[in-house]
């Protein structure tokens, strides 16, 4: 009996100290929880989770007005997720789920075989109008880890969840984009979110928090070296994804509104003449010269692209 009491006493002591211990842990967690200012702090080690946040909250975590000048990487307040929807997890157009498996691969634009980090820097300097990340930076490795983790997720997904829920892929009309018709589409279907001047709508009064609706042109948009600056790439995206939540444009409407957007002013990237060292591999809708053909810049920007394609097909015969 006395033994039992002793044992019981021991048990109570153990339980009590455990409860006190948990209390101490909880208290210290609360006390050391980062203040809201620390939330954007750079972790010391690369993680896929930090990578996910970088793609989702790009403007806040490495935007052009970051309070730490060294952390200013992008030149616009777009997020990667402004184009790679649902932080790259949405199957279909511009999904990043299978991207890791596509690299390394040859880039005609760069003229060499690049890996996923090179490709990320492609979007950093063009789509984000920013500067390159160091290949071994915490940011770069985190984004790579995140995109790799999407590949693992994808491999585990069922066929039905992999299927893209989007309209039939854009088919290019055999004519030039009609900018005036594109303006009408813009005013009727896009302006409500993207703004009268294509300037978008900030998420909060603080631009550093990024956009609720991102800009489509103007000083804070992607630059003229970006993929979205190509009218066919933009048409493909717009037909598949826009208007957001209700993508129902015809091929003609998507083509014209893509032409309208890319007829507007946007940041200009330096040294674009160095792109595509083999100029015969330059996409027909690359909006900036030089070209290996005599077609006008105008025709390369807005079409019709059929004659340009035919010219190169004849060359290779």
Closest contact distance (angstroms) between CB of 289 and ligand HEC is 20
Closest contact distance (angstroms) between CB of 294 and ligand HEC is 27
**Separation CA 151–CA 146 (nearest Å):** 9
Closest contact distance (angstroms) between CB of 24 and ligand HEC is 41
Closest contact distance (angstroms) between CB of 268 and ligand HEC is 15
Nearer to ligand HEC, 147 or 308 (CB): 147
A 10 A CB-CB count for 243 gives 16
Kindly list the distances between the CA atom of residue 51 and the CA atoms of 57, 137, 203, in Å, as whole numbers in the listed order: 10, 12, 21
Closest contact distance (angstroms) between CB of 15 and ligand HEC is 50
- Residues near ligand HEC (CB under 6 A): 55, 58, 78, 80-85, 94, 96, 99, 102, 119-120, 123-124, 127-128, 143, 147, 185, 189-190, 192-194, 213-216, 222, 226-228, 233-234, 237-238, 242-245, 249, 257
Nearer to ligand HEC, 22 or 265 (CB): 265
**Of 11, 9, 31, residue with least CA distance to 19:** 11
Nearer to ligand HEC, 81 or 308 (CB): 81
Nearer to ligand HEC, 118 or 311 (CB): 118
Coil, strand, or helix at residue 309? helix
Q: Could you write out the DSSP letters of every residue in 101-116? A: GG-SEEETTTTEEE-H
Closest contact distance (angstroms) between CB of 187 and ligand HEC is 10
106-115 contacts: CB < 8 A, separation 24 or more? Answer: 108/276, 108/278, 108/281, 108/282, 109/275, 109/276, 110/275, 111/276, 111/277, 111/278
Nearer to ligand HEC, 140 or 308 (CB): 140
Q: Could you write out the DSSP letters of every residue in 132-149? A: PPPTTSHHHHHHHHHHHH
Nearer to ligand HEC, 267 or 299 (CB): 267
């Amino acid at each position: 009996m006395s033994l039992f009491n002793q044992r019981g006493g021991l048990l109570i002591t153990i339980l009590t100290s455990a409860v006190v211990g948990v209390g101490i842990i909880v208290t210290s967690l609360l006390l050391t929880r980062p203040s809201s200012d620390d939330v954007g702090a750079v972790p010391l080690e690369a993680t896929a989770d930090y990578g996910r946040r970088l793609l989702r909250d790009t403007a806040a975590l490495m935007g052009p007005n970051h309070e730490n000048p060294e952390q200013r990487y992008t030149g616009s307040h777009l997020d990667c997720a402004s184009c790679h929807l649902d932080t790259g997890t949405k199957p279909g157009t511009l999904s990043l789920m299978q991207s890791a498996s596509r690299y390394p691969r040859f880039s005609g634009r760069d003229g060499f075989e690049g890996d996923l980090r090179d490709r990320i820097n492609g979007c950093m300097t063009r789509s984000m109008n920013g500067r390159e990340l160091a290949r071994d930076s915490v940011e770069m490795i985190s984004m790579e880890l995140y995109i790799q983790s999407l590949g693992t997720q994808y491999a585990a997904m069922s066929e039905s969840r992999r299927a893209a829920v989007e309209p039939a892929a854009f088919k290019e009309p055999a004519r030039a984009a009609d900018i005036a018709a594109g303006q009408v589409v813009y005013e009727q279907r896009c302006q409500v979110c993207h703004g009268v001047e294509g300037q978008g709508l900030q998420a909060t009064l603080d631009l550093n928090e990024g956009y609720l609706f991102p800009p489509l042109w103007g000083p804070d948009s992607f630059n003229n070296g970006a993929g979205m600056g190509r009218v066919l790439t933009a048409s493909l995206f717009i037909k598949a994804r826009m208007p957001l939540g209700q993508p129902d444009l015809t091929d003609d409407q998507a083509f014209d509104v893509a032409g309208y957007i890319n007829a507007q002013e946007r940041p200009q990237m330096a040294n674009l003449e160095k792109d595509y060292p083999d100029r015969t591999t330059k996409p027909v809708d690359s909006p900036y010269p030089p070209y290996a053909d005599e077609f006008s810049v105008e025709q390369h920007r807005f079409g019709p692209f059929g004659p340009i394609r035919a010219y190169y097909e004849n060359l290779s015969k």
